[in-house]
């Protein structure tokens, strides 16, 4: 009697299949990441003045960052958050008749590339492209506002 | 049912050496009682064994075993270099089954290390947590860029051009740059 012929797949040791699966895993994870629906963009509008020493409790996590800017008082005016698709624009209204236009461009090396445009009405004030670490932030500041300046904390997170 | 001759002859050598299980041995023995062909084959193997044994016994006295055993002893007692010991250690330790499991284990470990940043933000490996500015256009405004690694802060600071303001408006509305 001839021996039963095994299926070719059964000849592969399980460990080899396991290794192959592990090698393919990062690609699968990356593909899954790319299929995620965009970026959570959060804009915090902060007013900095020199009237008295103060720090809004809502800004306590940013204390060290804000201390780099030598103002005495920081208050959070508003905070807006939007989920924005890749290569789509999101408009954030900010005090003083201004607006921020944010476009997530790409995600590479755990960094999100954001194109940001600060507008005063229709007139652009600044255009910038920043690569921000995932779940990280950066600040844009300097616009005069009620005896102080406005600072925008722009943060981005993608799953 | 009578065993096939081919099957019995395949086991004859082992049966003569007493290496078969008793049940199989009994089957061979029973077959030999009924099959002159296999009995003849058995006789042939026995004659070959006998001839070989006699020849070896006659020649053994003439074979110089002493240098052979001396060589074996020298190899046992010789001091091996550390490189040889390392190679031997790897050869004995990294057996194919162990290696087969070690490879996925190493891959899994590397994936875990590389994924740490995902679960523990700020734990970058050779990667700064600072935002990097690729381009800025101030549209006529002055722009200052500050990157401070200790607090992981990147700031784009806008400020008016005071000389231009002085020419156009007597009282500038903007505050001075903070840094």
Render pLDDT for A109-140 as a digit per residue (tens, 0 to 9): 889 999 999 988 888 888 999 999 998 999 99
Residue of B nearest to A72 (CA): B178
Mean pLDDT value across residues A93-120 = 90
Residue of A nearest to B121 (CA): A135
* Chain A CB within 8 Å of residue B145 CB: no
Q: Residues of A with CB below 8 A from B106's CB?
A: none
From residue B95, give the alpha-carbon distance in Å to each of A22, A100, B90, B92, B163.
21, 62, 8, 6, 78
CA distance to partner chain B, nearest, from residue A69 (Å): 6
Q: Residue A78's pLDDT band (boundaries 50, 70, 90)? A: very high
Are the Cβ atoms of B157 and A142 closer than 8 angstroms?
yes
Are the Cβ atoms of A69 and B155 closer than 8 angstroms?
yes
Mean pLDDT value across residues B150-157 = 87
What does the mean pLDDT of chain A come to? 84
Residue B108 above 80 pLDDT? yes
CA distance to partner chain A, nearest, from residue B152 (Å): 7
Residue of B nearest to A148 (CA): B175
* Chain B CB within 8 Å of residue A65 CB: yes
Please name the residues between 84 and 103 in chain A that touch chain B, using a CB distance below 8 Å. none
Compute the 3-state secondary structure of chain A and give helix, strand, coil in percent, each to the nearest 5: 25, 50, 25
Question: Would you state the pLDDT for residue B67?
Answer: 87
Residue B174 above 80 pLDDT? no
Q: Residue B163's pLDDT band (boundaries 50, 70, 90)? A: low
A121's CB contacts (< 8 A; 6+ apart) are A97
Question: Would you state the pLDDT for residue A7?
Answer: 43
Residue B163: other Cβ atoms inside 10 A: 8
Please name the residues between 148 and 167 in chain B that touch chain A, using a CB distance below 8 Å. 148, 151-159
Least confident range of A1-10, A109-118, B21-30, B39-48: A1-10
Residue B90 above 80 pLDDT? yes
Mean pLDDT value across residues B84-91 = 87
Share of chain B above pLDDT 90, in %: 18
The dihedral over CA atoms of A111, A115, A116, A117, expressed in degrees to the nearest 10, equals: 170
Least confident range of A110-119, A138-147, B27-36, B60-69: B60-69
Question: Would you state the pLDDT for residue B121?
Answer: 56
Mean pLDDT value across residues A10-39 = 70
Question: Would you state the pLDDT for residue B124?
Answer: 52
What tokens were used for B87? 């190679």
Q: Residues of A with CB below 8 A from B121's CB?
A: 133-136
Q: Residues of A with CB below 8 A from B127's CB?
A: 109-110
Are the Cβ atoms of A144 and B174 closer than 8 angstroms?
yes
Are the Cβ atoms of A130 and B134 closer than 8 angstroms?
yes
Q: Residues of A with CB below 8 A from B148's CB?
A: 68
What order do you get walking across the sheet with A39-49 strand by strand? A54-55, A73-84, A39-49, A148-157, A136-145, B153-159, B142-148
Greatest mean pLDDT among A51-60, B136-145, B160-169: A51-60
Residue A108 above 80 pLDDT? yes
Q: What is the ipTM of this complex?
A: 0.75
Q: Residue B170's pLDDT band (boundaries 50, 70, 90)? A: very low
The partner residues of A154 in beta bridges, in order of sequence, read A43, A138
Q: Residues of A with CB below 8 A from B134's CB?
A: 113, 128-131
User: How confident is the model over A27-57, as pLDDT tens digits?
Assistant: 777 666 656 578 999 999 999 999 888 899 9
What tokens were used for B81? 């270099």
Are the Cβ atoms of B131 and A138 closer than 8 angstroms?
yes
What does the mean pLDDT of chain B come to? 79
More confident residue, B56 or A155: A155
Residue of A nearest to B103 (CA): A19
Mean pLDDT value across residues B100-109 = 83
Q: Residue A23's pLDDT band (boundaries 50, 70, 90)? A: confident
CA distance to partner chain B, nearest, from residue A119 (Å): 11
Are the Cβ atoms of A64 and B173 closer than 8 angstroms?
no
């Amino acid at each position: 009697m001839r021996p039963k012929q095994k299926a070719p797949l059964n000849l592969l040791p399980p460990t080899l299949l396991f290794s192959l699966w592990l090698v393919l895993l990062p690609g699968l994870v990356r593909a899954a990441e790319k299929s995620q629906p965009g970026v959570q963009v959060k804009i915090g509008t902060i007013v900095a003045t020199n009237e008295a020493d103060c720090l809004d409790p809502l800004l306590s996590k940013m204390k060290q960052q804000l201390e780099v800017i030598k103002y005495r008082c920081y208050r959070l005016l508003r905070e807006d958050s939007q989920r924005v698709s890749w290569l789509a624009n999101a408009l954030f209204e900010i005090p003083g008749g201004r607006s921020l236009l944010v476009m997530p461009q790409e995600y590479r090396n755990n960094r999100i590339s954001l194109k940001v445009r600060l507008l005063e009405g229709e007139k652009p004030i600044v255009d910038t492209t920043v690569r921000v670490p995932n779940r990280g932030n950066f600040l844009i500041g300097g616009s005069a506002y009620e005896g102080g300046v406005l600072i925008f904390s722009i943060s981005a997170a993608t799953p | 049912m009578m065993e096939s001759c081919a099957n019995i002859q395949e086991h004859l050598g082992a049966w003569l050496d007493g290496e078969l299980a008793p049940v199989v041995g009994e089957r061979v023995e029973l077959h030999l009682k009924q099959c002159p062909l296999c009995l003849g084959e058995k006789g042939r193997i026995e004659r070959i064994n006998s001839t070989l044994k006699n020849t070896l016994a006659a020649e053994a006295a003439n074979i110089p075993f002493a240098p052979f055993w001396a060589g074996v002893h020298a190899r046992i007692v010789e001091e091996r270099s550390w490189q040889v010991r390392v190679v031997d250690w790897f050869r004995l330790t990294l057996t194919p089954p162990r290696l087969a499991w070690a490879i996925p284990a190493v891959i899994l470990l590397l994936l875990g290390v590389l994924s740490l940043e995902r679960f523990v933000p700020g734990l970058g490996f050779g990667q700064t947590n600072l935002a990097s500015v690729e381009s800025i256009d101030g549209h006529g405004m002055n722009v200052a860029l500050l990157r401070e690694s200790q607090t992981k802060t990147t700031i784009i600071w806008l400020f008016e051009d005071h000389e231009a303001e002085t020419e156009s408006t007597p009282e500038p509305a903007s505050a001075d740059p903070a840094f």
